[in-house]
Amino acid sequence: MRFKYLKYLAFVLGGLSTVVAAGALYLYATFDGVRLAAELTYFAKQRYQRSLRMDGPVELSMFPRLRLKLPATTLSGRNGGSEFIGIEQAVVSVSLLPLLTRRVVVERIEVDGLRMALQRDKAGKLNAEDLLDPGNEAAPASAVTPFELDVGALMVRSGALTWADEQSGRQLALSGLGLETGRIGRNADGHLHATTRLTRAEPATDVSIELESAYRLDAGDSLPRLRQLRLVARGDVGGWEALDSELSLTEMEWADGSPSVIQGCSLQVRGKAAGEPFELKASTPRLKLGPRGPDTDSVDASLRLDGKLRGGNVRLRLTELQAGDKGLQVSKLMTELDLRLASGRLTGTLAGPGRWQGNSGQLDLAALTGELNFAPTRAGLPPLKFSTEADARIDLTRSSAAGHLALRSAQSQIKGSWTLPRFDGAALGFDMDVNQLDVDAYLAGKPGRTPVPDKAVDERFDLSPLRGLEMDGVIRFGQLRVAGLKLEHVKLPLSVHGGRLQSAGHTLSLYGGSLEGSLSLNAEDAQASYRAYLQNAELGPLLKDFGVQQKLGGTTNFFVDLSSKAESRSGLVNALQGLARVRIRNGSVPGIDMGQAMKEWRGLLSTRQGARRPHRARESTPVGELTASFLIADGVARSTDLKAKNGMLQVGGAGEIDLSRSHIDALSRVTLVLVPPGPDSGSLSSLRGMTLPVRVKGPLSGPDWHLEPGASLSSVVPGAGQAAAGNPPKVIPKRAVRAVSKVVKQAGPAAEKAGEAPVTE
């Protein structure tokens, strides 16, 4: 009996197989690929007003499975526009038996050479809307016979997609698109793998992308649940080069009517910005995505910089990130800084609330407070500690940032604003006010102590911090002490571009006078130049605070136009070139009482004997006015128009000052024009109208005074230390003197207004 039932079952299966085979043979025999292609073309034209073109008939094969092969096909845009979608070929493999149960089981879909051109016009309309939502032209639901679609695998090779948005002007392209999935259907578990290359013209983008993820489809109309997602992108984006980024998710669950949940999200990006390496990391254990935005308890992020000129770490922690009507709110943003700069190391913490406005792409940090510490690179300098208040606004749509800053230490208060015009460079703008700053106390490590440079050490200047820096701004100081000088109302504009530092039009007040000047310094060739005009400054206290022991006095005007090589301390002086002019009123010349010296030399003049009178610190000669102009070459300043006068004397002279050796060699002609009344008038009356050749020679701190009756004053002035060696004297041409006078008149008109005598030959 048992074998009898098996026999019946075999007959049934055999009959069923015969029916299926017969149906398949009938389908194959009656299939007309040319007619099907024509009908599809007609349908696309009538239904969607699009042109469908097939380069050949649709082919059908039966073994080893039912396969439908489409030739190279293109579908135009609406109303005969340019190509919207196209393929080189496509193959659809379908199982036969499930068709009897009204189930379409597609074993595999293979598409080669897929091309798609998506576009959104200025009105915001997508060129695929008619395909996605056919509207009233679609058949009613009651007329559609329900069937269940189940796809075993989907494969796309060598695909390409372009996107053009006329509203925003953005364009991008995906090329080399590859896609491979597992089963797609109800209660399907599968694995997704996709690769492509993203390119874009503005900003310049060239990125290779790879996506891998496991997924599950619970229902036909539900979004997939993703697990172990991994997204990798490598390439260049704008100013970021050699990017290597990876995004990973443990699980992502989409939900209808409730927030979607992301578990175990982490991001890591490595690359170069402005040619310098960086690494960015971010992670959150749980993130909810609702209609208004994401919610999470915490987000941790870090940024590491490995540049040659700057580096370090920045760590961020966001607490209680919530989405609201005005954007994302962060109850607390904690920032830890540990940055290595060319001048030192900056560490500290800042904390405060934050807000993200997604519609405008802006991050607002309204009130950040904390402490910053700065440890200088130079050995022996003390660290600085500041309490800090700041705010910032970061605009991601424009890739820029701006904010305000207030720093307070025990000695100084700094307030101002800053701007970062672009993220892909080191550009910085600033406007700062400092109430007071004692640079000398900071450099010396003790208040009130001015550092004395070691003459034996030729310190080289490090100009490397200027390279790669783009900066424009101004700093104002209420009081500034530097190099022993007390400066007030300092306005210092700064501009750094292409390794070149410029400070055009800086101004300050000092010792009752004012200074206006311009500085230029090039880091590439160490070329430096400085041009400045000082007016009506009290010379005595200025020189005293600067460390000059000579007791000079009076009110001075001073003009300089200099250039040099800023490679080292000694090189800066030895390569000095340019010109200078000085005027001193109501002052004094230290080291000699010229009236007393003339009485001592009176007896030697008749015999034309020379004499030497050493520098005497307690003596000085009053001067009503002293003027001189200098031509400076290779660190030596030469003058041929030295003039001085008071009520008793008139002086004219020429000479040179070796700035590197701090040595002076000048020959002057001193004429007694008026004998002062008093007990010594008789001894001086015989010298009235007589001119005495007097040479000033020796170190600037205390030169000797030599009576040289045989010397004649001319434009020929022996160089310092050269006459003794027999070197020929140097001649300063008269045309050079006239050039000095012309430049001084153009650069310092205030001097002429003050009654300053013009330069003469």
pLDDT band at 219 (very low <50, low <70, confident <90, very high): low
Is 422 inside any structural domain? no
Counting the structural domains of the chain, the total is 2
Please report, for the chain, how many H helices and E strands are present, in that order.
10, 42
Q: What is the mean pLDDT of residues 655-659?
A: 92
Cα–Cα distances in angstroms (integers) from residue 439 to residues 449, 477, 480, 515, 703, in the given order: 10, 12, 7, 19, 32
Q: Is the confidence at residue 728, as pLDDT, over 50? A: no
Residues linked to residue 200 through DSSP beta bridges, in sequence order:
205
Report the pLDDT value the prediction gives residue 313, as an integer from 0 to 100.
92
Q: What is the mean pLDDT of residues 200-211?
A: 90
pLDDT digits (tens, 9 = 90+) for 10-64: 544 444 444 455 555 545 555 566 777 788 888 888 888 888 888 888 887 776 6
Report the pLDDT value the prediction gives residue 186, as an integer from 0 to 100.
80
H or E, element range at 130: helix 129-132
Length of the chain: 761
**Which pairs with CB-CB distance under 8 Å and at least 24 residues apart come from 435-438?**
435/478, 435/479, 436/411, 436/412, 436/477, 436/478, 436/479, 436/480, 437/411, 437/412, 437/477, 437/479, 437/480, 437/481, 438/411, 438/481
H or E, element range at 150: strand 148-151
What range does the domain containing 731 cover? 549-761
Kindly report the number of other CB atoms within 10 A of residue 79's CB atom.
9
pLDDT digits (tens, 9 = 90+) for 448-470: 444 444 444 457 777 877 777 78
Is 572 inside any structural domain? yes
Per-residue three-class SS string for 378-430: CCCCCCEEEEEEEEEEEECCCCEEEEEEEEECCCCEEEEEEEECCCCCCEEEE
Residue pair 544/507 in contact (Cβ under 8 Å)? The answer is no
Q: What is the mean pLDDT of residues 491-510?
A: 92
- The DSSP annotation for 638-683 comes to EEEEEEEE-SSEEEEEEEEEETTTTEEEEEEEEEE--PPSSTTHHH
pLDDT band at 590 (very low <50, low <70, confident <90, very high): confident
Report the pLDDT value the prediction gives residue 32, as an integer from 0 to 100.
66
Cα dihedral across residues 53, 55, 60, 64: positive or negative: negative
Q: Is 453 helix (H, G, I), strand (E, B) or coil?
A: coil
Report the pLDDT value the prediction gives residue 502, as an integer from 0 to 100.
93
pLDDT top residue among 755 and 221: 221
Q: What is the mean pLDDT of residues 555-584?
A: 91
Is 242 inside any structural domain? no
176-185, 323-332, 411-420, 658-667: which range is least confident on average? 323-332
Percent of the chain with pLDDT over 90: 33
Report the pLDDT value the prediction gives residue 266, as an integer from 0 to 100.
95
pLDDT digits (tens, 9 = 90+) for 250-301: 998 877 666 788 999 999 999 988 778 999 999 999 988 877 778 888 999 9
pLDDT band at 681 (very low <50, low <70, confident <90, very high): low
Residues with Cβ within 8 Å of 433's Cβ and at least 6 positions away in sequence, in order, are 414, 415, 416, 475, 476, 478
Q: Is 595 helix (H, G, I), strand (E, B) or coil?
A: helix
Average pLDDT, the chain: 80
Q: What is the mean pLDDT of residues 234-238?
A: 89
Report the pLDDT value the prediction gives residue 31, as an integer from 0 to 100.
56
Report the pLDDT value the prediction gives residue 369, as an integer from 0 to 100.
92
Is 578 inside any structural domain? yes
- The DSSP annotation for 609-621 comes to --EEE--EEEEEE
Per-residue three-class SS string for 103-118: EEEEEEEEEECCEEEE
270-284, 364-378, 440-454, 701-715: which range is least confident on average? 440-454
pLDDT band at 550 (very low <50, low <70, confident <90, very high): low
pLDDT band at 217 (very low <50, low <70, confident <90, very high): confident
pLDDT band at 140 (very low <50, low <70, confident <90, very high): very low
Report the pLDDT value the prediction gives residue 257, as an integer from 0 to 100.
65
pLDDT band at 143 (very low <50, low <70, confident <90, very high): very low
Going by DSSP bridges, is the β-strand pair 154-165/115-120 parallel, antiparallel, or unpaired? parallel
Task: Compute the half-sphere exposure of residue 303: CA atoms within 13 Å on the CB side of its CA.
Answer: 14
Ranges 32-36, 306-310, 668-672, most confident: 668-672
**Which letter does DSSP use for residue 261 in this model?**
E
How far is 414 from 437, CA to CA, in rounded Å?
Answer: 10
Q: What is the mean pLDDT of residues 73-81?
A: 84
Q: What is the mean pLDDT of residues 545-566?
A: 85
Report the pLDDT value the prediction gives residue 96, as an integer from 0 to 100.
67
pLDDT top residue among 559 and 342: 559
Q: Is the confidence at residue 614, as pLDDT, over 60? A: yes
The residue to which tokens 């402005």 are assigned: 274
Q: Is the confidence at residue 498, as pLDDT, over 80? A: yes
Is 41 inside any structural domain? yes
How far is 246 from 230, CA to CA, in rounded Å?
Answer: 7
Report the pLDDT value the prediction gives residue 103, as an integer from 0 to 100.
66
Residues with Cβ within 8 Å of 473's Cβ and at least 6 positions away in sequence, in order, are 418, 428, 429, 430, 431, 432, 493, 494
pTM, 2 dp: 0.63
pLDDT band at 534 (very low <50, low <70, confident <90, very high): very high
Q: Is the confidence at residue 183, as pLDDT, over 50? A: yes
How far is 667 from 386, CA to CA, in rounded Å?
Answer: 56
Q: Is the confidence at residue 713, as pLDDT, over 50? A: no
Is 315 inside any structural domain? no
Report the pLDDT value the prediction gives residue 409, as an integer from 0 to 100.
87
Is 288 inside any structural domain? no
Reading the block at residue 524, the tokens are: 């590439």
Residue pair 655/639 in contact (Cβ under 8 Å)? The answer is yes
Report the pLDDT value the prediction gives residue 309, as an integer from 0 to 100.
66
Q: What is the mean pLDDT of residues 643-660?
A: 90
Q: Is 373 helix (H, G, I), strand (E, B) or coil?
A: strand
Is 82 inside any structural domain? yes
Report the pLDDT value the prediction gives residue 263, as an integer from 0 to 100.
92
pLDDT band at 411 (very low <50, low <70, confident <90, very high): confident
Q: What is the mean pLDDT of residues 99-117?
A: 80
